[in-house]
């Protein structure tokens, strides 16, 4: 029953998250008879703050489990977020801590999650990427910040 509850919570948490588009991948190892290990870069836009785009790089495990989604990808990632257009969102109305992106990295309850935090004092949005598991999370993390600046048309 606990697993069902946890699955429902994860699903509900991911409903408002952005969806990424793949930019490309680079192989990091050579496997003769199966897919290579690689690092892939994806891009997404903050669903609540038009004018902010993020890129996330993630390690993806190769081998025969990869085509079937059976691998557990390592918790190695990096995130970079930037202002790419005018930001007209009133940041005082944003939640202080909100999940904006989720990508599964395992068939069983592991994901990379990106949260947006609001630093009102510095007029900055902070994006924190973490690896999460239902039972045992990871201390792996990455951070990027976007100071809100005037945008020249």
Q: Domain ranges in the chain? A: 2-21+43-55+69-147
- Beta-carbon count within 10 A of 79 CB: 19
pLDDT for res 3: 41
Cβ atoms 67, 43 nearer than 8 A: no
Note the pLDDT tens digit of each residue in 66-80: 555 556 656 678 999
* pTM of the predicted model as reported, rounded to 2 decimal places: 0.75
Q: Report residue 5's pLDDT band, with 50, 70 and 90 as the boundaries.
A: very low
Cβ atoms 92, 148 nearer than 8 A: no
Work out the average pLDDT over 26-32: 83
């Amino acid at each position: 029953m606990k697993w069902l509850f946890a699955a429902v919570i994860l699903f509900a948490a991911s409903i408002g998250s952005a969806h990424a588009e793949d930019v490309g991948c680079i192989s990091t190892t050579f496997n003769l008879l199966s897919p290579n290990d690689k690092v892939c870069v994806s891009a997404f836009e903050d669903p609540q703050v038009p004018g902010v785009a993020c890129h996330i790089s993630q390690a993806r495990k190769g081998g025969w489990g990869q085509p079937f989604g059976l691998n557990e990808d390592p918790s190695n990632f990096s995130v970079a977020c930037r202002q790419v257009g005018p930001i007209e969102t009133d940041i005082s109305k944003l939640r202080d801590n909100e999940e904006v992106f989720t990508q599964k990295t395992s068939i069983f309850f592991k994901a990379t999650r990106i949260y947006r935090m609001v630093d009102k004092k510095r007029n900055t949005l902070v994006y924190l990427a973490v690896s999460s598991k239902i039972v045992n999370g990871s201390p792996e993390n990455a951070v990027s910040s976007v100071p809100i600046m005037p945008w020249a048309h």
